[in-house]
Chains A and B, each alone.
Chain A
Amino acid sequence: MKHIDEYRDGAAARALAAAIRKLVTRPWTVMEICGGQTHSIVKYGIDQLLPASVTLVHGPGCPVCVTPLELVEKAIEIASRPEVTFCSFGDMLRVPGVSRDLLSVKAAGGDVRIVYSPLDAVKVAAENPRREVVFFAVGFETTAPAVAMAVLQAAHLRLGNFSLLVSHVLVPPAMEAILSSPDNRVQGFLAAGHVCAVMGYEEYGPIAARHRVPIVVTGFEPVDILQGVHLCLRQLEEGRAEVENQYARSVRREGNLAAQRPVREVFRVTPRKWRGVGEIPQSGLGLREAYAAFDAERRFGLADRRSEEPPECISGQILRGVKRPGDCPAFGVRCVPEHPLGAPMVSSEGACAAYYRYRN
């Protein structure tokens, strides 16, 4: 496949790994932000090609993993209502709430559907005017434009039976939170290529400068990731802390302006709670007042619900890169994909699920 095969080439990957081994003189810890990158690293065994002194830690860039428990609970409550058709991306269905997940709601007769695009949910709403159609809007900057388009479309069609349960989060504030944490060990970042394809990477300059960390915008294939690691380590070895773009084939400095426009139109930046991490200021998106009619939390009167995480799950530390899945006593024992204690064991992009699937 063009634009993929050349970035999965074994010889190119090994050459980069050799260059990294030659370059490194000290131990370094680098975090890849995005769960897609975590998945590639574990799936292809990229970390096995790196010298032992280089540690890759996995960041909070898995939208499923960071969706707070109370929102999962709200989703379950809404989806259980007889008048509701609840639409969601596939991997949210198995995320455990306090006592059950959306798949169990479906099994109990709830109308829960997997959609591939938020616009599909708008279509369902238009075709079923008697149903309350709710879309579970989970994701980073990558999915926000499509969700915004769905809201604009629903407004255009004057759909009174469409609403969103919004749990959108933003990457740069999370990086800021990780770097500001007293137990931080991250010395360099691989920024998420797809997020930057939408948003560009201008916001990363101040973070790199303030915290003295190199940030490399990186793609998702093995050769991309090794190039990203190489660029990041070279900066660390040379004492630089700049923003570089490894993923130039998809990412421009200013990002995709056409995709940013609907996001700004529909959403405003809000504080948001991240599962396992807690509330991060200015780290989420919420519907603007002009589009409040599409807010499912208001429509169903659920705004004030709060839920506590199971105490045994250390997903907060995993998502901040403080611990790795193997450090958790429950990993692979009481927490497995069939009975996950926390979201990182659920999503294909969750660090615990990736380790369980490819390493256990």
Chain B
Amino acid sequence: MEDATKKDEKDGSGDAGAFSCPSPVQQYDSVLLAHGGGGRLTHQLIEQVFLQAYGNPLTEERHDGAVFELPAGRFAFTTDSYVIRPLFFPGGDIGELAVNGTVNDLAMCGARPLYLSAGFVIEEGLPMDTLRRVAASMQRAASRAGVRLVTGDTKVVDRGKGDGVYINTAGIGQVVAPRRVAPSSVMPGDAIVLSGDIGRHGIAIMAVREGLEFESVIESDCAPVSEPVLALLEAGVEVHCLRDLTRGGLASTLVEIAEATRLRCEIEEEAIPVREDVRGACEILGFDPLYVANEGRFAAFVPGREAGRALDILRRHPVCESAQIVGRVTGGGKDEVGERGGTGAGRAGAVTLRSRIGAMRVVDMISGEQLPRIC
């Protein structure tokens, strides 16, 4: 990293001093299309922004890709793209999101995150400072999660063709779980452990985007969850499945699992932690917190007998301090719910919720996005 900085300084001042005609502008306050052209400006952008933020021995080579050795074993490999408006929001920013999201996807595979790539699609005119802040934030998030950013790419698109910057990250991690952590491992009798209160990220974004003001600022829950997940696995908890609750929220995640396994997930409304301010915001907007996005929350499926121990381990980590057992998995069964006479609600592959007043209902995936209601 230090080397890269020195090299840039030398390049900039050296070029300016060597010619008598007016030197081309080398330092721009914002990103130009030319920064994506593959020439000197591209090189400068990479050196001065990205490598300065997260250069490491593997990026020193300045090669087309990172070359490294991996220990023996099984690996998880994942990718995700991050598109968010605004780029900076209470509790996080797109850079942090891009690192944590991929780190969390690896953790959900029962893997320890090792290396990430980062691809940027930058909109012409994005202030250079913004890009620097994003890159610095990615480095902080990577350090926090114990993962290294080792390769990347940048492209620049015309002004008006992107929301500032889009980031894609891909990641590789070593699987540490001794058993297969996947929907197919979920069994009747499993407990559903929720890693913390839900709905904060979605409401934080909504509040900024729509200019809604609440008594206190609601911050996103954006965070890496690899540490508590690895703690579960290292303690020998028999983890059957892990899922992070991003878009679509807890409800959509559970529906996916139930549909994939043809089992039933039964959850208790009262057990699901939702912070007071998030509940208030959801009441105002007409949103159901079950469907609101999270960026640092997951559901763990563990055998019922292991649930208490799993909860104890999770709660030792600040990111999981409000973890709760919210339900269980059963083997399907006959229709118990529904408009008198039933509408197939009790079918296998469904999620049911016991409401606060004790009645059962089906939890389905939402169609499209939640839209604020009229009255």
Contact = CB atoms under 8 A, between A and B. Distances in A.
Interface of A: 1, 4, 8-10, 13-14, 36, 42-46, 48-49, 52, 63-64, 89-94, 114, 116, 138-140, 142-143, 194, 222, 324-326, 332, 336-338, 347-349, 355-360
Contact of B372 (A46, A89, A142, A349): A89
B214 to A, nearest CB: 13
Contacts of A48: 359-360
Interface string B344-358: 110000000001111
A190 to B, nearest CB: 16
Interface stretch (B54-62, B64-72, B111-119, B279-287): B279-287
19 contacts: A1-B283, A4-B283, A8-B356, A8-B357, A13-B356, A44-B359, A46-B357, A63-B375, A89-B373, A91-B373, A114-B372, A143-B375, A326-B339, A326-B343, A332-B343, A348-B371, A358-B363, A359-B345, A359-B361
A222 B372 CA distance: 21
Interface string B195-218: 000000000000000101000000
A359 B343 contact: yes
A25 to B, nearest CB: 20
A360 B345 contact: yes
Interface string B276-298: 10011001001000000000000
Nearest to B277: A1
B338 interface: yes
A43 B355 contact: yes
A91 B356 contact: no
A114 B206 CA distance: 12
Contact of A116 (B212, B345, B357, B361): B212
Nearest to A41: B359
Contacts of B338: 359
Interface residues of B, number: 34
A14 B358 contact: yes
Contacts of A337: 367-368
B11 interface: no
B367 A336 contact: yes
Contacts of A194: 375
B361 A45 contact: yes
B341 to A, nearest CB: 8
Contacts of A360: 343-345, 362, 364
A93 B375 contact: no
B340 interface: yes
Nearest to B344: A360
Nearest to B345: A359
B213 to A, nearest CB: 12
A89 B210 CA distance: 13
Nearest to A114: B372
B359 A45 contact: yes
B339 A10 contact: no
Contact of A142 (B280, B361, B368, B375): B375
Contact of A348 (B280, B361, B363, B373): B373
Contacts of B372: 89-91, 114, 116
A98 B366 CA distance: 24
B374 interface: yes
Given A10-B357, A44-B356, A140 B280 contact: no
A359 B360 CA distance: 10
B237 interface: no
